[in-house]
Structure 1
Amino acid sequence: MAVSSGRTNVIPIQLDATFFFERAVRSLDRYHYDRALKYFRRAVEYEPDNPVNHCNMAGILSELGNYEESNKILKWVVDELDPTMTECHFYMANNFANMENYEAAEDALVQYLEEDAEGQFLDEAEEMMDLLHFELERPPRRANIKSREGLYEHDQARMLLEEGKFAEAVRILRSITEKQPEFTAARNNLALAYYYMGLFDEAMATVQTVLEQEPGNLHALCNLAIFYQHEQDTERLELLVQSLRKTVPFHQEHVFKLATTMGILGEHDHAFVHLQRLLKDADNQQDPCLLHYAAVSACNSDKRGEAERLWKQALKLDRESGIPEYYLKHLQDGVLPPSVSYQYHLPFEEQFKKWGKDTDDLPDQVKKDPLVRSSFFWALRHGDRSTKLQVIQALGMIADNEVKETLKDFLMEAGEEDYLKHIAMFVLRGIGVTEPLQAVLEGKETTVEQNRMPSRLPVWHERWQAVVETALTRMQSRYDMIGQHDLLTLWVEFLSRLYPEVPPIRKTEGWAAALEYLTAKMHRRAVTYQEVATRYGVSVATASKYAKWIDEVCGIREKMQTVFPALDGIEQE
């Protein structure tokens, strides 16, 4: 007879939430949903404050087709128990969609996208949006996706940079970096946007902020090198370039950034090596812009044969822009400058020559080219007087919101010449800006109303305006905005000097003819009294009489000898 040792072979069962959870999972594996639901209910009883147990129970109810009961539980979880369980909104959206309540499904899905920081079901949510688009027969509501917070806005800003809309990009990038200081890509692009706009101090400060966070950030280091070059800080530039020469990046994006930077810095051999690496990829060989960069680096490295081959390859892909053709022709003619620009557009001076001095519009591809626009913004801030006049006129041909804001900012630059600002105001009015303009004129900030002429005349009569409109109507297709502005200024000066003893204006065409004649003379145009008299339908004597009257009052001959020393003289009878 065996003696009991006092031990038992019975293993006690610990009935807790984990026990019932495991039983529920086993039941699910066998597709026993009713039993799984029973076990999940028991798990909830043991741990009523555990939101996962409630969500599991809601999931089983959904599998069983009890969508309303499932949503009641999910709503209670996210409203009362744990608001951080944002995935409940996604589950609820699924339930509503199964109930064919697509409006409610859309509401729940948008709430999920806007509140869920992890984006666990982001791909599935986007698929559901496509379904809702089909079922609702309209585009679904746009949502600010929290898990991609800043990414959508950053992509939008990058697109604006590519379109040359730098001021708009700056506004978005500033907002991103204020909310997400660690978003270094946004800061790098903000630095570039500032640089493209000619705001060098802001660009330098921004890139330094990136390097404080990530001292090895390649994009920031490349940008900093460009900024050092602009600042002519040769000592710090050389130290940084030595480091960049030893850098061999792996990712194509980094290779391209380093290659173009080294090219701009004059390190053409290093640029060529990196660009050759990129062109080993067959897809990259279909990019005329990349081929141009490689051709430039080859040309500047005295590899003229390789440059010719690359530009010929680019020409096959891009015959419309004229860029590969221009450089190929000049290379073959032996007239390329010692250092060729890496920018994929025609040289700035060549663009103006191509468009023509009196053109009243620019090609669409030019208006949208970010490098062209960047050149304009740089020239407006850093060019000489003649270049600024050309740029203001060219910006008037682009005439988008970016241009309007740029010209408005220009009016407030204390160091700029008043004449240039009057031209800018004339352009702004011509492209539809009607509100009062703020400008610093004669050293003082002033407001310029739309209906105010650029003068101190206390009144402005309709007949005086009629003369201007008569002249500008006939001149518009033949004179640029600068010429039109100067005609207006000349007329206002004439009236101002005589006021209040202003002559009666009976025949507007005679005065308009005289004004065009004098304006043409001031702008190196060959013109006779006979030509303007015929154009305005007046006699030569009338045109001559009024022109000489204006000359006597305003001293045109003296101005032509001082301000316009090389211009033709006024015609004598």
Structure 2
Amino acid sequence: MNQRKRKQAVNDRRPKIIPFSLDATFFFERAVQSLDRFHYDKALKYFRRAVEYEPDNPVNHCNMAGILSEMGRYEESNDILRSVLDKIDPAMTECYYYLANNYANMEKYEDAEDALVRYLETDAEGQFLDEADELLDLLHYELNRPTKLSTIKSKENVYAHDKARELLEAGRFAEAVRILEEIIGRQPDFLAARNNLGLAYYYMGLFDKSIQTISEVLEAEPGNLHALCNLAIFYQHSNQAKELAELLALLRKTIPFHPEHVFKLATTLGIVGEHQEAYRHFRRLLRSGELAGEPSLHHFAAVAAANIGRFDDAERYWQQAERLDPQSEVPPFYLKKLERMKSGEAAPPTHYHYHLPFDEQFRKWEQAPELVPGALKQDPLVRSSFFWALRHGDRRTKVQVIQALGLVADEEVIDALKAFLVDPEEEDELKRVAVLVLRSIGVQDSLSVMFGGKTLTLEPRRKSARLPVWDSAWQTVLEQAMEQMSGRYDVVQQHDMMTLWVDYLSRVYPQVPKLHNSAAWAAALEYWTAKMHRQSVTYAELVDRYQASQASISRYANRIDEACGIREKLKLSMTLSAFKENR
């Protein structure tokens, strides 16, 4: 046998040794095997060894506490759990549930309640929520009282989302956006919250942000029907015809089962002009009977029917809506208009909202402006239509909306008008109206305004009492002054004229004089504005431009001075200036 073969033979006779390491994983696996065989003593021994190898690993300690609990050694189990929370990992909030379970087994129900409340209020994962509910029921029975619970941490986002939805339904969009953004910051995969955030942006007229938000939902879940429907509406209003056509091809083939999804799809198809498909889905809902008692559903079916020429069906649905909701003005309004629709004199409604058309609402409110605040505060659909019109209406509508929003003057309205002031796409004249309304409702802080492509800061010059209404006659005076001062005075000077007008009206309200000669009042405002800014202007010039008599302009200028004390302020200003020069 040669040397190589002898060496191979020796190696073949050597015993084969399989190395293994004794570590925490080894003892953990042995413990699990023992548990599977219900050998609790061995399992406990192996978990203790795992703890020895990894004393800072809280899971090993919790496993050991779990075995002790299974063995009925609850006090020892609790000692370990408290040690984990106090010394090793306070973030192991599930230990509170284990403690609660042990205390309940020891019939220490108040201690169990304290531990369970601590678990529910601090644990963000909610791993034992179902078990916690059962334990709450037990404690309620044993203690003969409900458990006081301020919040459930793991359901915090769910509760916040419910609150945001309530705010959306109430038309308080800015508040809803704030809550929804916070939810998504904490839980980015909460798609329902992201969907509603997209809607809130849409109601506020923020198209780009709404499309971006809904696109994020569809990236995570391409088949999300609510997101697809929302996106279709956003595409329509942003005139993205190609994208809308591709999306509609998909939605036409979609046949949802759940009534909520059917309703969402039907209203969406109607809004984007697919009235035939919308009518088909509305009829499905009415035949199913689940939502047949909703007057709004009958109204939507009537709108769809009218748009495809089925006027008899539309009449039947509006009549049913009127029976279900006799207090509403909507069904009678359209039933009265139906004959004109049939003859082609009037077009069917194009919107799918259960309220009167925007123009019709304004006609009513012009006759009774005291109704505006209540309608805007109580009806979220009306409120959303106002915010929509502020962003996307024509010039006349925007003026009406700005004035109407001033009658509500809540925090969200003020924020919306301030955002309007810095929008580069809006007209300067409309922004001046918005400034006037903000000042008239008592907003006395500095205002950032983009005029002529430049951002300016308008400081308040006078504080005024809030005016409860804004009269069209007051607006006429303002508009005449603005028209004549445009190009002759800068933006700050024009703002001061508006502020002076609000200040005067506030001081004399409610004894505001009759403003029959609006041109003379406007000229008087320009007169004092020029004097305040040391700008040259003569009565003769004002008479020529405003086509008003000098006597009237002088009389109204004196009335403004009597209320606001302008001459005295100008004298004081000149005295102070002279004093500074002499120094």
Q: One fold, TM greater than 0.5?
A: yes
Change (3 A) 1:275 1:465: closer
Structure 1 residues 18 and 142, CA, compared in 2 at 3 Å: closer, same or farther? closer
Query: Match of 1:496?
Result: 529
Residue 57 (structure 1) aligned with residue 94 (structure 2) = no
For residues 486 and 362 of structure 1, do their structure 2 counterparts lie closer, same or farther at Cα, with a shift above 3 Å needed? Answer: farther
- Name the CA distance, whole Å, in 1 between partners of 2:201 and 2:553: 52
* C-alpha distance in 2 between matches for 1:174 and 1:133: 40
Q: Note the 1:184-195 alignment, pairs <5 A.
A: 184-195=191-202
Counterpart Cα distance in 1 of 2:440 and 2:495? 24
Unaligned runs of 5+ in 2: 1-29, 52-59, 464-490, 536-545, 561-583
Comparing 385-394 with 53-62, greater Cα deviation is found at 53-62
Checking the alignment, whether the CA contact within 8 Å between 1:89 and 1:111 is kept in structure 2 is no
Residue 150 (structure 2) pairs with residue 141 (structure 1)? yes
Distance in 2 between residues matched to 1:219 and 1:458, nearest whole Å: 45
Is the 8 Å Cα contact of residues 291 and 311 (structure 1) preserved in structure 2? yes
1:227 is aligned to 234
Q: What is the Cα-based RMSD across aligned positions, in Å?
A: 4.4
SS at match of 1:216: coil
How many Å apart are 1:343 and its aligned residue?
1.2
Checking the alignment, whether the CA contact within 8 Å between 2:123 and 2:153 is kept in structure 1 is yes
- Please say which of residues 266-275 and 188-197 is displaced more in the overlay: 188-197
Contact 1:102-1:135 at 8 Å conserved across structures: no
| SS of residue paired to 1:416 | coil
Taking the aligned partners of 2:93 and 2:281, their CA distance within structure 1 comes to 46
One-letter amino acid of the counterpart of residue 52, structure 1: N
State the alpha-carbon separation in 2 of the partners of residues 207 and 317 from structure 1: 35
Cα distance in 2 between the residues matched to 1:113 and 1:214: 28
Residue 409 of structure 1 deviates from its aligned partner by 0.7
Equivalent-residue separation in structure 1 for 2:522 and 2:99 (angstroms): 69
8 Å CA contact 2:505, 2:512 repeated in 1: no
8 Å CA contact 2:528, 2:557 repeated in 1? no
Q: Which amino acid aligns with 1:57?
A: L
Q: Which moved more, 1:247-256 or 1:203-212?
A: 203-212
Aligned equivalent of 1:213: 220
> What SS does the corresponding residue of 1:298 show, helix, strand or coil?
helix
Name 1:248's counterpart in structure 2.
Answer: 255
Does the aligned pair in 2 maintain the 1:164–1:369 contact within 8 Å? yes
Number of the residue aligned with 2:432 = 422
Name the counterpart of 2:484.
none
Q: What is the CA–CA distance in structure 2 between the aligned matches of 1:421 and 1:229, rounded to whole Å? A: 27
- Count of aligned pairs between the two proteins: 474
Alpha-carbon deviations, 1:149-191, whole Å to 9, x = none? 6333333322222222222222333333344443333333222
Q: Which amino acid aligns with 2:46?
A: Y
Contact residue 61 and residue 69 of structure 1 kept, 8 A: no
CA contact (8 A) 1:58 1:70 kept: yes
**Which of residues 414, 417, 426 in structure 2 aligns to 1:404?**
414
Question: Partner of 1:474: helix, strand, or coil?
Answer: coil
Name the structure 2 match of 1:330.
Answer: 337
Q: Residues 466 and 208 (structure 1 numbering): CA distance in 2 closer, same or farther, change over 3 Å?
A: closer
**Number of the residue aligned with 2:5:** none
User: Structure 1 regions of 5+ residues with no counterpart?
Assistant: 1-15, 25-38, 503-518, 523-528, 530-540, 552-573
Amino acid at match of 1:546: R
1:184-208 Cα distance to aligned partner (Å, 9 max, x none): 3333322222222222222222333
Residue 229 of structure 2: SS of its match in structure 1? Answer: helix
Match status 1:100 vs 2:110: yes
Counterpart Cα distance in 1 of 2:115 and 2:519:
64
Q: Distance in 2 between matches of 1:132 and 1:393?
A: 61
- Listed one character per residue, the Cα deviations across residues 35-92 of structure 1 (whole Å, up to 9, x for unaligned) are xxxx756642332244334224236658xxx6x6553233235556777864321233
CA distance in 2, matches of 1:489, 1:103: 72
Amino acid at match of 2:292: Q
Among candidates 203, 208, 211, match of residue 196 of structure 1? 203
Once the 2 structures are TM-superposed, how far is the Cα of residue 346 of structure 1 from its aligned partner? 0.6
For the residues of structure 1 that align with 2:171 and 2:519, how far apart are their CA atoms? 30
| 1:400 positional shift | 2.0
Separation (CA, whole Å) in 2 of partners of 1:93 and 1:448: 61
In structure 2, the residue matched to 1:313 is 320
| 1:76 to 2:86 alignment | no
CA contact (8 A) 1:456 1:496 kept: yes
- Partners of 1:428 and 1:132 in 2: CA distance: 59
CA distance in 2, matches of 1:60, 1:217: 48
1:566 counterpart residue number: none
Separation of aligned partners in 1, 2:375 and 2:69: 56
Which string of whole-angstrom CA distances, capped at 9 and with x for unpartnered residues, describes residues 303-347 of structure 1? 222222222222222222311222222225646523442111110
Distance, in Å, in 2 between the alignment partners of 1:465 and 1:258 is: 48
What code does the residue aligned with 2:528 have? L
Between 1:399-408 and 1:439-448, the stretch displaced more is: 439-448
Asked if 2 retains the 8 angstrom alpha-carbon contact of 1:86 and 1:115, the reply is no
What is the distance in 2 between the residues matched to 1:429 and 1:500?
20
- Of 339, 343, 358, 1:348 maps to 358
What secondary structure does 2:284 align onto?
A: helix
* Residue 310 to residue 115, structure 1, CA distance change in 2 (3 Å): same
Q: C-alpha distance in 2, partners of 1:153/1:81?
A: 32
Q: Which residue of 2 aligns with 1:31?
A: none
Q: Quickly say closer, same or farther: Cα 1:228–1:501, change in 2 above 3 A.
A: closer
Task: Please state whether the residue corresponding to 1:341 is helix, strand or coil.
Answer: coil
Name the SS of the counterpart of 1:362 in structure 2: helix
TM-score (norm 1): 0.70
8 Å CA contact 2:424, 2:450 repeated in 1: yes
What's the TM-score once normalised by structure 2's chain length?
A: 0.68
> CA offset at residue 459 of structure 1?
11
Check 1:112–1:91 CA distance in 2 against 1; reply closer, same or farther (3 A cut). Answer: farther
**Whole-angstrom CA distance in 1 between matches of 2:501 and 2:435:** 20
How far does residue 421 in structure 1 lie from its aligned partner after superposition?
Answer: 2.5
Cα–Cα, structure 1 residues 269 and 190, in superposed 2: closer, same or farther, change >3 Å? same
Q: Which moved more, 1:254-263 or 1:432-441?
A: 432-441
Which letter maps to 2:318?
W
Task: Assess if the C-alpha contact under 8 Å between 2:286 and 2:292 holds in 1.
Answer: yes
CA distance in 2, matches of 1:439, 1:102: 59
Offset at residue 111 of structure 1 (A): 4.3
Structure 1 residue corresponding to 2:157, chosen from 150, 155, 163: 150
Aligned mates of 1:196, 1:459 — CA distance in 2: 33
Secondary structure of the corresponding residue to residue 404 of structure 1:
helix
Identity across matched positions, percent: 43
With over 3 angstroms needed to count, the CA separation of the structure-2 counterparts of 1:499 and 1:160, relative to structure 1, is closer
Specify whether residues 486 and 270 from structure 1 end up closer, same or farther in structure 2 by C-alpha distance, changes over 3 A only: farther
| Map of 1:161 onto structure 2 | 168
Q: Secondary structure at the match of 1:320?
A: coil
8 Å CA contact 1:86–1:116 kept in 2: the answer is no
Take 1:488 and 1:123, find their aligned partners in 2: how far apart are those partners? Answer: 71
1:268 pairs with one of 250, 275, 285: 275
